[in-house]
Structures are given as structure tokens and as C-alpha cells.
Structure 1
Amino acid sequence: MQPLDSLRTDALACRNCSLCETRTNVVFGAGNPNAELMFVGEAPGAQEDLTGEPFVGRSGRLLTSLIEGIGLTRDQVYISNVVKCRPPDNRDPEPGEVAACAPIIASQIEYISPRVLVTLGNFATKLLLETKTGITKLRGTPVAYRGGVLIPVLHPAAVARRGSAGLIEARSDFEAIKLALASDPSEVK
């Protein structure tokens, strides 16, 4: 297993897809490398591209609020994205871009080895669970994953678009995360 710092260095030098031509910064990931809870989103947005940090824009503020709502801080979790560079105009990442970053996110998950892995939104959920089933059917339901638990939840941007109904759903999903953190991962099917 590649050490996280070495993996970060490789990601910062990556030129394996065309996103390297338009990025300002590689958004590798941030947080506690020993975290029991890890979040994986889709790809960086404009604010993340500028700062090099994941989830710092409007979606990031909402994610931080939801994390704090279950009694944790961002410093206690690890946050990353499947794709490390911002796709132009915030479009969905293309298959070649995902393929270029897939070994990096796989290594991050292996290194962090969280008890609970949370996928933020449809894209990360479908990729990591290798499913075509959408987030609306899977959200909030814990699934056994690599010796731990994976819980798909709505992406914070989708939560914001849904207004108060989205916030109610998100809080419910985060209660499932809190419960999973307090449970034995072997109890999840």
C-alpha cells in the first residue's frame, strides 16, 4: 500500500487525462488520515479548484453542518472525491477521467481504511458499489464494504436543491452514519 503522502505527490504530478490542462489545483483530499469516517464525492467544483481543498464551497458548508450535526468535526473525518481535478463547467466526469483517478481513490480508501465510508451522491455511489441503481433508492441504507460499512447519501448540492425536504432526508441519512459508527460493521449485510 502506497503511503498517503507519496500518493498525494503522485496525484499532484498527474497528467493522465485532459483535466490536468484546465485545473488550477489538484484536490487530493483532506482530513484525518486515521479517520473512522470517510466521505467520497464526485469531483471538485470551482471553489475547490481554487483552494485545492475538497468541499469548501456552498456544498462544503452544508456538509460541514451535517457532520457537526452528528457530533463530529471536519478534522475528525477524511473527505475526498473520485476525480481529483475539476471538470470544465462542472460537467460530469468522463469515463477516461474516472479511470485515470480510480487507482488514487481506491488507494485512499485502502489507506484510510474507514469503518464507515459515505458516498456523496449518485456518481460516487454507482462507481464504488459497481451498480446502476440510483442514489434515491440506495440513500441511507448501510451496505457491507471492504470489512466496514458504506452508506450512500445525497450529495450536498442535491440536498440544497431540495430545500427543507432535502435537509430532512440528509439529517436522517447522517443519523444512519452516526448509528453505523457506533455499531459493529459485521452486523451489516
Structure 2
Amino acid sequence: MDSAGLRELLTFYADAGVDESLLESAADRFEETRVEAEKRAARRAPAAQEQKKKAPAAQIQAPPLPSSQRAAIPDDAQAARAREIAKSANTLEELREQLAAFDGCNLKTTAKNTVFSDGNPQAAVMFVGEAPGRDEDLQGLPFVGRSGKLLDRMLAAIGLDRTSVYISNVIPWRPPGNRDPSPLETEICRPFIERHIELVAPKVLVTLGNPSTKLLLNTQTGIMRMRGNWALHRTPGGQEIPTMPTLHPAYLLRNPAHKKLAWHDLLAIKVKLEGAGGASQAGLSPH
């Protein structure tokens, strides 16, 4: 290659970013990096060991966080404490105040409001769902979002509204991101909803969805097998309340074809209320 051609080739290489000449064999850059790293580590090791010997134990271990910065972790002791607190409530207002003051469940630290109840505490029928969602957390009332609007339409279909029913949830605080409450969180909240039902003493109890049905009827059977069949909820004080498990309105929004199943359950609830003498109290017209 003449000098002019060589000059053009070098210019091309320079424009392409080539800044060093080629070797006879390919360089293993990964191996070079590994060897260099081992050399640096070997140089640092003696100094690190010497520093560790000189450092007092207090500097080696990180100091504990102050109690105000520690995450609240629920445990069995909090569930036992909840049972004692709930049992001491003699009225719904006392239970509401005790729940608002209770600090044994970490769900409360991320929720905006304690969602206690809505409706008429003198009603013959009580509905219990699982936990508040975003809208419920913001307003402090159960079933006020999309599922709540559907529940209102379901009630209206059998002549009921929020002045003739009572509504609550197993969990009074919204779980972060609407996640499922953990089994321990549910056990901590269980005494409050059980005492809640005991104080209201409805003639008929309706569990909405799988979680509240399993908890309040003490069963592992799924809602699709439980729904439409009367069962008994036994309160800690020994009351036995006829209970109808049915599908949660949120489930019906996702599966509208199953609304016909919920309709059959609602008709059974209507008949039970009339037979239990709760027709006028529940806002139903007798036959």
C-alpha cells in the first residue's frame, strides 16, 4: 500500500474512534478486570483488618432505631389485647371509641380513617364485608364506592335502604394498596367485629364475600358453596344469629352473570326477615 492509501486508512480509523494499534492476539479485558480487582482487594485487606481491630463495638453495629421510627408488627399478644378491649365495650359508641384508640394493628398507621359502620343500628339485618377500599377510607364509611352503589341497588330490589339495614366490615382500616389483610391482622380485628355484631344483635346477618363468610362462620368452605344456604353465626356471648352468605358486590361487578345467584340470596333474606318479624323494622311490606 502506498503512502497515500495508508494515510487514508489511518484517517478512516481515526474517524471511527480507533485510538490504539492492534495486538498480535486478542486481549481478554474481562480477565484483566478480574485480576486488577483482586489486586485492589489484596491491597485494601490489611488496612481494613487493622481498622476493624481499632474500631469500638459501638461503631461496628448500627444503633437501633428510635421506637417512633420502628414499623408496627402485629403479634398474638395484640390479638389477645383486642379481645379484652372489645369485650369491655357495653355500647356501640364505646366500641367505636375503643377501636379509634386501638394501636395494636399496623393497618391503622396507613389508613386515613377508621371505618366503623353505616346505616341503622336498630335494623333487623346487618351486612358485613371484608375491608374498606379507597373511597371508604376517604369518607370513613363502608360501601360508598362502586361496590357500595351496587349494594344500594341490591337492597332496593327487596325494599331496603341504608335507613333499614346496618353495614360494617371485618377490617375497619384499609389495607395499603387494597391488598388482602394478613391472617394475623384479621385475627386482631376479629374481636371487634364479633362484639360489634353482638351489640347490634340483628335478627339476620349477611356475610358479603369469601373472607367475612369464612371468618364469621368459622369455615374453610368457599363462598360459591356456602352462598344461598342458611348458617348460624355464634357470638362470643352465645347468641346464634341466622346468617346468609352471599356474593360480594365487588365480585358481582367483575362477574355480572352471577348477579342472578345474589338475587336468589336476597329473596331468601327477604323471606327470613318477614318470618322473623323484622319486616316492618327492615322496611319490608308483609305479604
User: Which TM-score bucket, shorter chain as reference?
Assistant: over 0.9
Matched to 2:230, the amino acid is: P
Q: Does 1:20 align with 2:76?
A: no
Q: Does 1:170 align with 2:258?
A: no
Q: Does 1:156 align with 2:244?
A: no
Deviation (angstroms), 1:147? 3.1
Bigger shift: 108-117 or 9-18? 9-18
C-alpha distance in structure 1 between counterparts of 2:107 and 2:273, whole Å: 35
Q: Is the 8 A contact 2:217 2:232 kept in 1?
A: no
For residue 141 of structure 1, the aligned residue among 229, 247, 252 is 229
Q: Computing the radius of gyration over CA atoms, which structure comes out larger, 1 or 2?
A: 2
- Helix, strand or coil for the counterpart of 2:147? helix
C-alpha distance in structure 2 between counterparts of 1:24 and 1:166, whole Å: 33
* Alignment correspondent of 1:77: 165
The higher-RCO structure (CA 8 Å, 6+ apart) is 1
C-alpha distance in structure 2 between counterparts of 1:61 and 1:107, whole Å: 27
* Alignment correspondent of 1:182: 274
Matched to 1:147, the amino acid is: E
C-alpha distance in structure 1 between counterparts of 2:143 and 2:117, whole Å: 9
Deviation (angstroms), 1:62? 0.5
C-alpha distance in structure 1 between counterparts of 2:167 and 2:117, whole Å: 6
C-alpha distance in structure 2 between counterparts of 1:155 and 1:69, whole Å: 16
Q: Is the 8 A contact 2:203 2:276 kept in 1?
A: no
Identity of aligned residues (%): 49
C-alpha distance in structure 1 between counterparts of 2:128 and 2:267, whole Å: 18
* Alignment correspondent of 2:133: 45
* Alignment correspondent of 1:63: 151
Structure 2, gaps ≥5 residues long:
1-88, 234-238, 278-287
Aligned length: 184
Question: Which aligned segments of 4 or more residues in structure 1 are displaced greater than 4 angstroms?
Answer: none
* Alignment correspondent of 2:46: none
Q: 1:184 to 1:77 in 2, by over 3 A?
A: closer
For residue 104 of structure 1, the aligned residue among 187, 192, 197 is 192
Q: Is the 8 A contact 1:160 1:166 kept in 2?
A: no
Q: 1:20 to 1:148 in 2, by over 3 A?
A: closer
Structural RMSD (CA): 1.3
C-alpha distance in structure 2 between counterparts of 1:177 and 1:129, whole Å: 17
Matched to 1:151, the amino acid is: M
- For residues 61-118 of structure 1, what are the alpha-carbon distances to aligned partners after superposition, in whole Å with 9 as ceiling and x for unaligned? 0011101111011111110000000011111111221122111101110011011100
